[in-house]
Amino acid sequence: MAFSGRLGAGPALGLGLGVLWLSLVVGLPIAAVVVTAAGGGAAGFADAVTSREALGTIELSVGAALAATVVNMVVGTLVAWVLVRDSFWGKRLLEVVIDVPFALPTIVAGLVLISLYGPQGPFGVNLVGTRQGVFLALLFVTLPFVVRSVQPVLMDMERDVEEAAASLGASGVTTFRRIVLPVIAPAVLSGAALAFARALGEYGSVILISGNLVGRTEVSSAYVLKQIEAGDQAGAAAVATVLLAVAIVVLVLLDVVQRQVARRG
């Protein structure tokens, strides 16, 4: 892995262009959110973020995202395991189906969920306006992250250590806990970080089934949208900034984890 080192004139120009582009497209917009949020002053910011409704949405979004991430960390790892280590008829189909939440437009996912788990659903279960409905929607959209993160690591793992443990009498659980888990842990965490960030900001798939009940099922993204449409730019920006801060924390976590993996590998 060699690097060309310092930049020559050509690459420097390219870098300048790249930086300009990223500033226009990412840097400036994000900065505008933070600055607008601060525009109301510290008191204004605190007011906007601690109003009963805003706090409720932040609490719901963070809580539901966390819950969905934790569940999908466990089940995602399980699914990855089954995909890599097991073989059965239909496995190839399962493999493809897992990518659906990645590629399906969020509003379509929302429509799908409400058709199935809403008032006209075939199961007679109505999750509209419930926190379970919100949780379910977030489970849907975050499913592939941990699976796709863990899969390559599992695939690359050599089995001989596990087989050695097995031959020495270790149960499957112990083998998993002491041999496999340490190897896949960074991948599980990095997938979980991506899943959490995605779930935190999710809008399209949640908005239909949530019913937008204030204090119960209103998610932060819906609140931000409502405030910007109500002309309350500072208030919307304030809550958006809080979401942004949480997302950045997640990114930093991801960076640290990835560096740990690099050090180990």
Partner 1 sequence: MDLNVMSRRRVFGLCGAVLAAAVGVAGCGGSGSTSGSGSSGSGAASATATATKLDIVGFSVIKSAYDALGAAFAGTPGGAGTTFKASYGASGAQSRAVIAGQKADVVAFSLQPDLDNVVKAGLVDPSWNAGPAKGVASRSVVVIAVRAGNPKGIKGWADLVRPGVGIVTADPGTSGSAKWNLLAAYGQALGATKDVAAAKTYLAGFVKNVVSWNESGRTATDAFVKGTGDVLISYENEAIAARAAGVGLDYVVPDTTVLIENPAAVTKSAPARAKDFLAFVESVDGQKILGSKGFRPVDDTVTISGVKGATDPANPFPKVANLITVDSLGGWKAVNALLFDTGKGLVPQLRA
Partner 2 sequence: MADTVVVTSAVSGRGGAAAGVRRPAGGARGRAHRGRRTAARRVLRLIAVGYVVALVALPVVTIAWHTFAHGLGPVLDVLGGEDFLAAARLGAFVAVASVVINTVFGVGISILLARYRFPGRRLLNAVIDLPVSVSPVVIGVALVLVYGRTGWLGRGLEAHGVQIVFATPGIVLATVIVALPLVVREVVPVLEEAGIEQDQAAQSLGASAGQRFVRITLPTIRWALAYGVVLSLARSLGEFGAVRVVSGSVAGQSQTPTLFVNDSYAEFGPAAEQAGFTAAFALMLTSVVFIVLIAWLRPKERA
212 forms part of the interface with partner 1 (CB under 8 A): yes
138 forms part of the interface with partner 2 (CB under 8 A): no
Q: Which two tokens stand for residue 76?
A: 């995602």
Q: Quick one: which of 12, 26, 230, 248 contacts partner 1 (CB under 8 A)?
A: 230
User: Given the rule CB under 8 A, which of 48-56, 94-102, 182-190, 252-260 is the region that contacts partner 1?
Assistant: 48-56
For 176-188, b/e burial (b = at least 16 CB within 10 A) is beebbeebbbbbb
For 226-252, b/e burial (b = at least 16 CB within 10 A) is bbeeeeebbbbbbbbbbbbebbeebee
Q: Quick one: which of 43, 124, 156, 263 contacts partner 2 (CB under 8 A)?
A: 156
Cβ–Cβ < 8 Å for 48, 239: yes
Minimum CB distance to partner 2, residue 189 (Å): 15
With contacts defined by CB under 8 A, how many residues of the chain interact with partner 2? 112
Q: Letter for the amino acid at 89? A: W
Q: Quick one: which of 67, 112, 128, 213 contacts partner 2 (CB under 8 A)?
A: 112
Q: Quick one: which of 227, 239, 240, 257 contacts partner 1 (CB under 8 A)?
A: 227
Q: Which of 131, 119, 141 is nearest to 218 (CA)?
A: 131
Please measure the distance between the N-terminal and C-terminal CA atoms of the chain and give it in whole angstroms.
15
User: Given the rule CB under 8 A, which of 46-54, 125-133, 196-204, 210-218 is the region that contacts partner 2?
Assistant: 196-204
With contacts defined by CB under 8 A, how many residues of the chain interact with partner 1? 21
Sign of CA dihedral 11, 248, 104, 111: negative
Residues 91-110 that bind partner 2 (CB under 8 A): 94-109
Q: Quick one: which of 126, 132, 258, 260 contacts partner 1 (CB under 8 A)?
A: 126
Binding partner of residue 176 among partner 1, partner 2, none, CB cut-off 5 to 8 Å per kind:
none
Q: Quick one: which of 30, 62, 67, 84 contacts partner 2 (CB under 8 A)?
A: 30
Residues 6+ apart with CB under 8 A from 225: 203, 236
| Side-chain half-sphere CA neighbours of 200 within 13 A | 23
75 forms part of the interface with partner 1 (CB under 8 A): no
232 forms part of the interface with partner 1 (CB under 8 A): yes
| Side-chain half-sphere CA neighbours of 216 within 13 A | 12
Can you tell me the distance from the alpha carbon of 166 to that of 186, in angstroms, rounded to the nearest whole number?
24
Binding site for partner 1 (CB under 8 A): 51-53, 114, 118-119, 126, 128-129, 211-214, 216, 225-227, 229-232
